[in-house]
Amino acid sequence: MRESLIDLSYIAASVLFILGLKMLSSQQTARRGNVVSAVGMAIAVVATLLRQDMAFGYIIAGAAVGGLIGGIAALRVPMTSMPEFVALFNGFGGIASLLVGWAAYQQRVGPWAAGEAIPGDPPVWYLAAAIYVTLLIGGVTFSGSLVAYAKLAGRISGKPILFRGQHLVNGALVLVALGCGVMYVLNPAGVYPLFVLAVIIALGLGVLTAIPIGGADMPVIICLLNSYSGLAACASGFVISNNVLIVSGSLVGASGIVLTKIMCKAMNRSLTNVLFGGLGVSGGKTSVAVQGEAKPITAEDAYYVLEAASSVVFVPGYGMAVAQAQHVVRELGEILEENGAEVKYAIHPVAGRMPGHMNVLLAEANVPYEQLVEMDDINPVIDTVDVAIVIGANDVVNPAAREDEGCDIYGMPIINVDYAKTCFVLKRSLASGFAGVDNPLFFRENTRMLFGDAKVSVQALVTQFKET
């Protein structure tokens, strides 16, 4: 009876995970989906604890300490640091799975060496293979996520780090890892040094996979590492024979791969390029030097243009996150609507440093969901827009991606703000974006540069409307 109730609890938790994941695909239901998934996880944890006798004191203490650390970190992290925060959490998921696999091996290596079987265990080769896969994926996820965190947090350079023969080294390490895996599965109790070597190789592969990723392509690697963390959790579910862990890990792994493909399409990259490293590198090619003279504009002059506009599109980017300008942007949008303008917010899939970064910021500012439009929806009508206001975005609106075959981002789909009748670009300077490519948008005839902190600049526009 007890086992039946636990199995039913696992089924209920799995259903809630699937429903929650479905809700997360829509901004209107995302918060509810998060709650539904959390309830499912609570059911799964309680059912697992009741499945067998455990040292509940240690478990409760560990959960309390971990929950306290995680809660404080989540409350204190600014929105500008959310991408590296997510990368770090992916890494924690990977190392947790690795440690589960290692602990399972340590628990069984003695009986295996003595030729004894643990009651209830699957065949030795099956369990050994599951442990090995858990270690490999968990190790790659952990070290790769730490590199992604370091790049996003500015601890190391965001530029691709390459060396001669890098792909050959990666391939050799993969072959060595596979060879170690075969020998380990054939004799899991007698090749402990190879087991440790495999852990070191996995950690090294994670580093070598992440360092060639260029800064502008970090949203892709974030998705991929998220998928890896799910696959590692799934593999650890096979290790400890926990069905709900297998299901939840599979869901995270599959959804992460789907999101990775979406991000690859948005960056015009191939998934193969991501998996084998070198993403964001184009053989050392650089953009053709951009020539021209930027045309600055004051907030007062920009006001007169906006006051006469019948349609305005905001295009947010990482600069908006840095300036924490989302609330004042919403206020300006509401003023423009009251003035008779149609207002929309065009979101590029990889704007910011992680998928959905801009959506989260605008949702935090209570921007109506129906005003958010995707790149593919705004581009066909962008030439009818009176004013496009670019707030801290750079690479995702860079016309060089359409025009300069020699630049690193050539072929990447962009929001064609240069086709709007007038384009205001809010930036502190004419510096290039995260990809390091100069932006000819700044020098177009219909572009005006409103220099300064984005929040201050937008607030100045709001003030102009209120005082006039």
The count of C-alpha atoms lying within 13 angstroms of the C-alpha of 36, restricted to the half-sphere facing its C-beta, is 17
Contact at 8 Å (CB) between 392 and 316?
Answer: yes
First to last CA, the chain: 74
Cα 102 → chain centroid:
28
The count of C-alpha atoms lying within 13 angstroms of the C-alpha of 81, restricted to the half-sphere facing its C-beta, is 13
List the catalytic residues. 395
Which contacts (CB < 8 Å, 24+ apart) does range 44-53 have? 44/9, 44/10, 44/13, 44/244, 44/245, 44/248, 46/9, 47/5, 47/6, 47/9, 47/10, 47/13, 47/244, 48/242, 48/244, 50/2, 50/6, 51/3, 51/6
Phi-psi region of 146 (alpha: psi -120 to 50; beta: other; left: phi over 0): alpha
Query: Measured between alpha carbons, how far is 155 from 47 in angstroms, rounded to an integer?
Result: 41
CB contact set of 314 (below 8 Å; sequence gap of 6+): 329, 333, 343, 344, 345, 346, 389, 391
